[in-house]
Structure 1
């Protein structure tokens, strides 16, 4: 696919390709905590939306119900999440992130910030400004994608 020649015109294919590369790079940054992508995704989701019903978490993470049950069991055993009855329906279980689980997400984010800060040092001031100017629009893309 050929890149867009006009820097003022949004090319969604260019956007997708750059974000795929950026995401892959960020996921692969070295980390002290060695956890699977699915484990980190579940913890990250819970860090933003805890508590969640197991069925909501399964749908959000796009895994099977049995796979999510097994993962939550391991995370619970490791002290990263806990299951509690839903206060509005005792038959339903909610998954809550624990302080230890939150610490994992926070420490990984801090490590990513450190790595990315070093990469950003290689940018020209106008490139840094362009990224800063794009952040509100990128947040809005996330909001729209989350609401869909």
Structure 2
């Protein structure tokens, strides 16, 4: 395990500032597109299934930070809408995996296209000097996501 990073020096961005900026960006980002008919949690479940593949209900509940009954109810609703389906887990015949359907994937892909279009418009208003550090930060942000997933797996083990 690596040592925690020391406190920032004068002029450096603090973790609190990073957190605040990411929270503001996330609030803006999750609301794109502006028109939607599904809750944020429902959309998050679809994004999880599209990105990570089939999941057990327990994993979805933990990832969404909702109760088992709440995720079961949500998945049942999504199943009735044709956005997900339940299939037996090949590794455990007692369990089921939730899979995204083509209709569910179309929602995820449509939202992504809308987000890309909106962010393309916004980033087009940045100067090259403003855009360059965002591009340079992408590998570090991806690494933070990887580290978070590793930490979550370690906690489950």
Q: Same fold (TM over 0.5)?
A: yes
Partner of 2:92 in structure 1? 89
2:123 corresponds to 1:120: yes
What is the rounded CA distance, in whole Å, between the counterparts of 2:116 and 2:16 in structure 1? 26
TM-score under structure 2 length normalisation: 0.86
Give yes or no for contact 1:33–1:104 (8 Å, CA) kept in 2: no
What is the rounded CA distance, in whole Å, between the counterparts of 1:120 and 1:112 in structure 2? 12
What is the rounded CA distance, in whole Å, between the counterparts of 2:39 and 2:102 in structure 1? 19
Residues 1-148 of structure 1 mapped to structure 2, 5 A cutoff: 6=11, 9-148=12-151
3-state SS in 1 of match to 2:125: coil
What is the rounded CA distance, in whole Å, between the counterparts of 2:45 and 2:33 in structure 1? 19
Gapped regions of structure 1 (runs ≥ 5): none
Give yes or no for contact 2:46–2:104 (8 Å, CA) kept in 1: yes
3-state SS in 2 of match to 1:52: coil
Task: Give RMSD over aligned pairs.
Answer: 1.4
Q: Give the C-alpha shift of residue 98 in structure 1.
A: 0.8
What is the rounded CA distance, in whole Å, between the counterparts of 2:109 and 2:10 in structure 1? 38
Gapped regions of structure 2 (runs ≥ 5): 1-8, 152-157
